[in-house]
Amino acid sequence: MSKIIDLTMTIKEGMQTFAAHWHPFVEITQLGRHGIENRETRKLTLGTHTGTHIDAPRHFIPEGETVEQIDMDRLIGKAAVLDFSELDDFVEISKEMLKEKVNNRTIEKLIFRFDWHKRLGTNAYYSDHPYLSEDACQWLVMQGCKLIALDTPQPDNPKNHRMAPKDAPNHKILLGAGVIIVEYLIDLDKIVQPEVSLYVAPLKIENGDGAPARCFVIEDIDCG
């Protein structure tokens, strides 16, 4: 028996977004109306990194791949779930901690669980989340990782964001090696199995540095 678990935020007005001018607030405007135009349509204003989304290499790498250039087989497949939900706030995940969690499982696609979606709507969501060390990111690249997915806003230390020379070094390590980053997942605590089938379906945006994505997993449930 299989179970589908949706890991995607609902896009709506008032949802939490990163406080920077390059991340717009969500606006949803109804245009078509029943009884007037006799149909419903809406205009959406949102960013390429609104809600659950992917980062394409172009996000930080000037000549990096864009969303529409990413083959779908890099976004779909077996993924290992790494449960770090026991960590305290603002903990750096070292290479050794990461290797212990991987424990000889598949490395190509990894899902990092922190249960951080429970902090949505608070300042701590952006300021206190756990993050990866640079050594851990380098190890992922060396091991042939192709995609990481997280229920946090980013894999980087939130305290050094936008502060050169430490402006998002983990993004640059991963995206520079072609590793796709999926951020803002929710409900990872609903996953039971240590390995699942992951599906990431971003909007196909021309020259996209990122794109909102519908993300879900299918896990096999033992009914015995």
- β-partners of residue 54 are 182, 211
| Integer Cα distance of 210 and 138 in angstroms | 22
Q: What is the pLDDT of residue 88?
A: 97
Can you tell me which residue has the tokens 């204003």? 45
Q: What is the pLDDT of residue 223?
A: 62
Using left for φ > 0, alpha for ψ between -120 and 50, and beta otherwise, residue 42 falls in: beta
| pTM greater than 0.85 | yes
| Integer Cα distance of 191 and 2 in angstroms | 12
DSSP 147: E
pLDDT digits (tens, 9 = 90+) for 126-174: 999 999 999 999 999 999 999 999 999 999 999 886 666 689 999 999 9
**Looking at the predicted structure, is the pLDDT value of residue 222 above 90?**
no
pLDDT digits (tens, 9 = 90+) for 21-31: 999 999 999 99
Confidence grade of residue 189 (pLDDT, cut at 50, 70, 90)? very high
In a domain? residue 19: no
In a domain? residue 17: no
34-45 mean pLDDT: 98
As a whole number, the mean pLDDT across the chain is 96
Please give the residue range of the domain that contains residue 147. 2-8+47-220
88-95 mean pLDDT: 98
62-85 mean pLDDT: 98
Can you tell me which residue has the tokens 């949505």? 120
In a domain? residue 25: no
108-112 mean pLDDT: 98
In a domain? residue 64: yes
30-54 mean pLDDT: 98
- Phi first, then psi: what are they for 156, rounded to 5°? -90, 160
Burial of 164 from C-beta contacts in 10 A (0-12 / 13-18 / 19+): exposed
Helix boundaries (H) for 39-158: 95-102, 124-127, 134-142
In a domain? residue 21: no
| Integer Cα distance of 92 and 81 in angstroms | 18
Q: What is the pLDDT of residue 163?
A: 64
Within 13 Å and on the Cβ side, how many CA atoms surround 77? 14
Structural domain count of the chain: 1
- Contact (Cβ atoms closer than 8 angstroms) between residue 109 and residue 79: yes
- CATH number assigned to the domain comprising residue 132: 3.50.30.50
In a domain? residue 53: yes
What's the token pair of residue 62?
A: 């000037």
In a domain? residue 20: no
Q: How far does the chain reach from its first CA to its final CA, in angstroms?
A: 10
In a domain? residue 14: no
Q: What is the pLDDT of residue 221?
A: 80
